Structure 1
Amino acid sequence: MTLAAWMDSINQLIAAHAGEPWVLVALAALCTIDGFFPPVPSESLVVGLAAVGRPPWWLLVPVATLGAILGDNIAFLIGRRLGHTRLFTGGRRRIRTVTWARRQLRRRGPLCILVARYIPGGRVIVNAIAGATGFSYRVFLAVDVIAGILWSGYSVAIGTGAASIIGDNHMLAMVLGIVLAVAIGAVLDQILRRLMPVHADAEGDAAPKSQGVDEKDAHMHVG
């Protein structure tokens, strides 16, 4: 079998199964799990399906949005259940990251939650810390709904754009869309680090203090 014939068979296989009802169920489940377990590539799946064009975007966006919101809320509830004491244990790098997330939530909570949705590991940490530090759930939910809608729309737009460049080659469109999504995610990660530097927030934190949250943070409520 030639390369062209092999790619054509792959494209036919993708096109034949992308529109199956179980795909939307799997998408919702993966987007939910990704909200508290970042290794699950939900964004890649959304981008890939959008590149194929099936299911249609008007189904992809609400399903991906619902899954993303559910996953983020699970991370928030896990953080609230565990509390800051358990989250502030571990290696030095983890302590610094958690300390950074806590301070950013205190200073610019809604923006931090909104931007972190585009960074797989970042959103889990931020959402869990929001729950652990008593961040207002009403504010969190409102911002998270907006973040979920924007994230799913952004992912679908990348996949659709890739398909418009590649054409009917579904496999190449999926690969291009996923590469673009990863690249944009890396850029957003760098922007977030510059706007909200970790080192600046970690300075002055003594080791004992890093193991917990001060009284003010422990009772933080926004709105």
Structure 2
Amino acid sequence: MAEFLDFLNNLTNPDWIVAHGGLYLLLFIVFAETGILIGFFLPGDPILFIAGIIIANLTLGPVDSVLTLLYWIALISVAGIAGNFLGYWCGKYFGHRLLKMKDNWLFKKEYIFRAQEFYEKRGGVAIILARFLPVVRTFAPIVAGIVEMDFKKFAFYNVVGGILWVGSLVTLGYLLGENDWVQRNLEYVIMGIVIAATAPVLVKMLTGRKKKLTPVNEEVLEEEY
């Protein structure tokens, strides 16, 4: 357990990331967070910001630096898009099994119902908005698969959302990556990003009316099975 916590802590250290896989590690983390059920705890937003910082601090000329930025954005976007496609497929073919799982410390059906409620309110745009919400971005494609959202529609919003999410945060990290204040206060900057990303979820949890999860909810999702 200590090794696992140490791993999570090091994910906010650009030097550690570079020394332990660099771009390949970033691709795996983004894919896992957006496509694998148990990946919801991974720090996707800080990772993307740090990716931009890594690029900004590479010893490259202006042109090569921009090309590297675009290259990383393209590859990481593909990882995030592929992850959501995997989540959609898992929801479509294994959703009935997820709904029959008992709640435990790692998985709660409330996560799925919360993503479903968000999806029903926002429609296809929810796939884009979910990219910027921790936990929700892991379960939104699964819910889309469970309710059998039109695949072409899902694919469109998935691609657009993936590019916007990755492109915005990596570019932000790139633009601020050489700033001395940002480098000296990286932990606080990352903390600010996490707070900004989770604020909508926290506000909803604290001020919104909690929806009771009854067997009726499960029947609605399971009716196709």
TM-score for the superposition, normalised by structure 1: 0.71
Aligned position for 2:132: 118
Matched, 1:98 2:151: no
Contact 2:147 2:221 in 1 (8 A): no
Say whether residues 1:181 and 2:193 are aligned partners. yes
Q: Provide the residue aligned with 2:146 in structure 1.
A: 132
Q: Distance in 2 between matches of 1:89 and 1:198?
A: 25
Residue 172 (structure 1) aligned with residue 179 (structure 2): no
CA contact (8 A) 1:114 1:144 kept: yes
SS of equivalent residue, structure 2 residue 81: helix
Contact persistence 1:162–1:176 (CA under 8 A)? no
Give the CA deviation at 1:197.
Answer: 4.6
Q: Is the 8 A contact 2:26 2:76 kept in 1?
A: yes
Whole-angstrom distance in 2 between the partners of 1:113 and 1:40 = 19
1:154-202 C-alpha deviation (Å, 9 max, x unpaired): 21133134425326x8x536435422321221234346x38x9563xx2
- Aligned equivalent of 2:9: none
Separation in 2 of the partners of 1:124 and 1:14?
27
Alpha-carbon separation, structure 1, partners of 2:73 and 2:46 = 14
1:57 aligns with 2:69: yes
Pair 107,183 (structure 1): closer, same or farther in 2 beyond 3 Å: closer
Shift of 1:78: 1.1
- Counterpart-to-counterpart distance in 2, 1:40 and 1:97: 15
Q: Report what 2:49 is aligned to.
A: 47
Q: Any stretches of 5+ residues in structure 2 without a counterpart? A: 1-13, 59-64
What's the % identity of the aligned pairs?
Answer: 17
The CA deviation string for residues 119-156 of structure 1, in whole angstroms up to 9 with x for no partner, is: 23111121111111111111111101111111112211
Q: Distance in 2 between matches of 1:19 and 1:150?
A: 28
Report the Cα distance in structure 2 between the residues aligned to 1:198 and 1:129, rounded to whole angstroms.
21
- Structure-2 change in CA distance of 1:173 and 1:146 (3 Å): farther
Secondary structure at 1:134 match in 2:
coil
Pairing 1:208–2:215 present:
yes
**Which of these residues, 37, 40, 50, is aligned with residue 38 of structure 1?**
40
Partner AA of 1:187 in structure 2:
A
Q: For residues 125 and 62 of structure 1, what CA distance do their matches in structure 2 show?
A: 23
2:90 to 70, 75, 78: 78
- Which structure would you say has the larger Rg? 1
Confirm whether residue 142 of structure 1 aligns to residue 156 of structure 2. Answer: yes
Deviates more, 1:133-142 or 1:32-41: 32-41
1:76 counterpart letter in structure 2: Y
Paired with 2:224 and 2:126, the residues of 1 have a C-alpha distance of 18
RMSD of aligned alpha carbons: 3.5
Number of matched pairs:
196
Q: Report the more deviating stretch, 139-148 or 95-104.
A: 95-104
User: Helix, strand or coil: the match of 2:220?
Assistant: coil
Deviations 1:39-80 (A, max 9, x none): 333432321131231473222211221111111111111111
Work out whether residues 30 and 76 of structure 2, in 8 Å CA contact, stay in contact via their aligned partners in 1: yes
Bigger Cα displacement from structure 2, 33-42 vs 60-69: 33-42
Q: Which residue in 2 is equivalent to 1:9?
A: none
Q: Distance in 1 between matches of 2:22 and 2:52?
A: 12
One-letter code aligned to 1:72 = N
| Partner-residue secondary structure (3-state), 1:120 | coil
Is the CA contact (8 Å cut-off) linking 2:134 and 2:198 kept in structure 1?
no
